[in-house]
């Protein structure tokens, strides 16, 4: 409808000259605008999937727009494979692969070659996957790619560069108590996952110092081999030629032990109020408990419920109440971070001045209660459903992102019709589903409330600055006023140390 009007107007405009463009009727409210239907079919992995003769999957999506090629080698394996006492080995192995030279060139020479060829090369090892990738101009692809493959398969792991890297990391460890949010996230990890599981574990001075080139070589060999590999290619290239190139790369590369499944954490967390003393004008407040698995059948109901609660910016309730209405925080919201292998974490968060940390927490708890007790309005649910459905094409926006999804889905055995049925499943979420999800997956009474800041001021609440008696809240409102002080930690070793308070009283 709109389309035909516009076309007509445009043709009139062409005849009469640009100034003759007529004005469209402007509705009083945007709900009066009519839209053309937008047809979008999600891409299907099999249309992009190829296999090398060795069975390694290759996903390709060519495009001629720019004379650049990007190839990503993705390997199963990550921090979860770090041996006891070697936290940081994964990160260091990835970084030193990139900075430590290859079999043909020493580190500085290789860096020079890549830089001169204007190739962006990276290597990294994350929690559960490892990547090596190159983005370069098609005009010097052969040369840059050969250097890259040499680096990926036979990195030199130069000792001196390892020394530089370790000293950089050791220096950065000293800053771990400088930023309140960094403290909050780390302590929440310890409380939620324990200090042993890789989700909660952090590097220490000792673990970094203990890492040797032999550790790094062994870790590299364990992960970077064709048994763990998937490849994606985007940019300007010919598919058949690329397959030949990749065959050549993988050919003769011996297959090692395939990485095992990611282990689930065994730590059981203790609900309650925790605080970490720090002298700062703003408090980081995190409220969290364990969440859900990615493939939980209720995952979409939980997603819509959390979008209403605090997961969709200004439109969500926590943001509206803590930020917009009361002006207590710039950042406020909630998130379910789902994990494939075990339930992830639910967390609500906001940062506010010390006096209003308790009031803000009360507002968040009020929202938990409201979404559990009262059914959400249909139009509120509809906004979130429309959003999920209409933003769906963005999931596949860039070809790189699309292929990334295909690789991750295959690696984690995601149900094959997931994307094809996604929008229907979103549309079918009902008011009852939302309420049920809130009751089943939100557990405010069994949550951890973690605060970083000056506890005495936090605890006292906002009585001295709040004009409205109904808005005065102290920390007595939570867990019967009980709170556990977390020990101050040495930033480098993470060992608990005596608290500054005790120090002050001794002087």
Partner 1 sequence: MRKSLAIASMMLATATSALGQQVEPIEYTLDNGMKFLLMPRDEQPNIITAGWISPVGSVNERPGIVGVSHLLEHLLFKGTDAIGTSDPELDKQYREQLTEIREQMRAYALDVQYDRMHKGEIDNPWDPENDTAELRELRAQMTAIQDKQAEITIKNEFDSIYTGNGASGMNAGTSNDFTIYYINIPSNKLELWAWMESDRLDNPSMRELDAERFVVIEERRQRLEATATGKLDEQFDSMFWVASPYGFPVIGWMSDLMAYTEDEIYEYFETYYQPANLTGVIVGDFDPDDAKQLVESYFGRLENKREAPAPVVTHSVPLLGELRFTGECDCQDQVEVRYRSVPFGHPDEAVFDVMADILNGRTGRLYKSLVEEQEIATSARAGNRSNHFAGSFSFSAVPKGRAELVDLEAAWYEQLERLKTEPVGERELQKIKNQQAADTFRGLQDNSSLFFQLAITEAFDSYEYLNEMPKRVQAVTSQDILRVANQYFKDNNRAVALYTRKGGEKPLITLDDVRASLPEDMAAMMMPQIENQLQQLEMLGIDELKSGLEEMQAMAGQYPPQLKTAMEYMQQQVEQRIKQLEAERNSDASEGDDQ
Are the C-beta atoms of residues 75 and 130 closer than 8 Å to each other? yes
| Residue 140 lies near partner 1 (rule: CB under 8 A) | yes
Shortest approach of partner 1 to residue 333 CB, angstroms? 13
Q: What residues have CB less than 8 Å from 134, skipping those under 6 apart?
A: 69, 70, 71, 119, 120, 121, 122, 144, 145, 148
Binding positions for partner 1, 417-446, rule CB under 8 A: none
Binding mask 232-271 for partner 1 (x = CB under 8 A): ----------------------------------------
| Residue 122 lies near partner 1 (rule: CB under 8 A) | no
Binding positions for partner 1, 282-311, rule CB under 8 A: 282
Are the C-beta atoms of residues 405 and 395 closer than 8 Å to each other? yes
| Residue 185 lies near partner 1 (rule: CB under 8 A) | no
Q: Judged by CB under 8 A, which of 55, 67, 260, 481 binds partner 1?
A: 67
| Residue 13 lies near partner 1 (rule: CB under 8 A) | yes
Cα-based angle 249, 254, 257 (whole degrees, multiple of 5): 125
| Residue 16 lies near partner 1 (rule: CB under 8 A) | no
Binding positions for partner 1, 377-406, rule CB under 8 A: 382-384, 386-387, 389-391, 393-394, 397-398
| Residue 157 lies near partner 1 (rule: CB under 8 A) | no
Binding positions for partner 1, 353-372, rule CB under 8 A: 353, 355
Are the C-beta atoms of residues 328 and 360 closer than 8 Å to each other? yes
Angle between helices 89-99 and 159-173 (to 10 degrees): 130
Torsion of CA 347, 349, 355, 356, to 10 degrees: -100
| Residue 21 lies near partner 1 (rule: CB under 8 A) | yes
Angle between helices 107-116 and 141-153 (to 10 degrees): 150
| Residue 460 lies near partner 1 (rule: CB under 8 A) | no
Indicate the SS3 state at residue 235. Answer: strand
Separation CA 12–CA 441 (nearest Å): 58
In 3D space, the residue among 132, 100, 112 whose CA is nearest the CA of residue 213 turns out to be 100
Stretch that binds partner 1, among 46-54, 122-130, 146-154, 274-282 (CB under 8 A): 274-282
Stretch that binds partner 1, among 145-153, 176-184, 248-256, 259-267 (CB under 8 A): 176-184
Shortest approach of partner 1 to residue 193 CB, angstroms? 26
Stretch that binds partner 1, among 129-137, 225-233, 260-268, 403-411 (CB under 8 A): 129-137
Binding mask 24-53 for partner 1 (x = CB under 8 A): x-xxxxxx-x-xxxx-x-------------
DSSP 8-state class, residue 414 = -
Separation CA 272–CA 226 (nearest Å): 46
Q: Judged by CB under 8 A, which of 71, 97, 117, 125 binds partner 1?
A: 117
Separation CA 220–CA 470 (nearest Å): 60
Shortest approach of partner 1 to residue 94 CB, angstroms? 15
| Residue 137 lies near partner 1 (rule: CB under 8 A) | yes
């Amino acid at each position: 409808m709109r389309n035909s009007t516009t076309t007509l107007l445009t043709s009139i405009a062409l005849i009469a000259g640009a100034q003759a463009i007529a004005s469209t009727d402007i509705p009083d409210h945007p709900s009066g605008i009519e839209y053309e239907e937008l047809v979008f079919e999600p891409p299907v992995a099999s249309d992009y999937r190829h296999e090398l003769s060795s069975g390694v999957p290759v996903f390709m999506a060519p495009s001629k727009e720019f004379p650049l090629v990007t190839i990503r080698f993705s390997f199963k394996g990550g921090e979860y494979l770090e041996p006891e006492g070697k936290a940081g080995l994964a990160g260091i192995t990835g970084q030193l692969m990139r900075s430590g030279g290859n079999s043909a060139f020493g580190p500085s020479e290789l860096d020079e070659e890549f830089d001169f060829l204007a190739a962006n090369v990276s290597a990294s090892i994350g929690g559960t996957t490892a990547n090596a990738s190159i983005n370069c101009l098609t005009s010097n692809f052969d040369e840059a790619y050969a250097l890259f493959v040499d680096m990926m398969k036979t990195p030199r792991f130069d000792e001196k560069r390892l020394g530089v890297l370790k000293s950089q990391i050791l220096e950065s460890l000293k800053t771990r108590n400088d930023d309140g949010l960094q403290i909050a996230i780390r302590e929440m990890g310890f409380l939620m996952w324990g200090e042993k599981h890789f989700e909660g574990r952090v590097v220490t001075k000792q673990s970094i110092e203990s890492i040797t080139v032999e550790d790094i070589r062994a870790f590299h060999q364990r992960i970077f081999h064709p048994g763990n590999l998937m490849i994606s290619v985007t940019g300007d290239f010919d598919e058949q030629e690329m397959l030949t190139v990749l065959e050549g790369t993988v050919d003769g590369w011996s297959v090692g032990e395939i990485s095992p499944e990611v282990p689930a954490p065994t730590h059981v967390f203790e609900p309650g109020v925790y605080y970490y003393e720090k002298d700062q004008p703003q408090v980081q407040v995190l409220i969290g408990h364990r969440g859900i698995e990615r493939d939980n059948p209720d995952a979409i109901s939980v997603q819509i419920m959390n979008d209403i609660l605090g997961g969709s910016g200004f439109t969500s309730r926590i943001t509206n109440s803590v930020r917009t209405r009361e002006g207590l925080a710039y950042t406020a919201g909630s998130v379910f971070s789902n994990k494939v292998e075990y339930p992830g974490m639910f967390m609500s968060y906001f940062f506010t001045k010390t006096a209003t940390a308790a009031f803000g927490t009360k507002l968040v708890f009020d929202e938990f209660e409201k979404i559990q007790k009262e059914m959400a309005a249909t139009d509120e649910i509809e906004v979130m459903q429309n959003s999920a459905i209409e933003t769906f094409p963005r999931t596949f926006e860039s070809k790189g992102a699309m292929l990334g999804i295909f690789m991750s889905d295959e690696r984690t055995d995601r149900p094959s019709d997931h994307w094809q049925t996604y929008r229907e499943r979103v549309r079918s979420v009902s008011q009852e589903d939302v309420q049920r999800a809130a009751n089943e997956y939100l557990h405010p009474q069994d949550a951890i409330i973690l605060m970083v800041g000056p506890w005495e001021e936090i605890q006292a609440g906002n009585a001295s600055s709040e004009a409205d008696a109904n808005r005065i809240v102290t920390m007595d409102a939570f867990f019967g006023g009980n709170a556990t002080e977390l020990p101050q930690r040495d930033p480098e070793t993470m060992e608990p140390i005596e608290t500054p308070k005790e120090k002050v009283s001794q002087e």
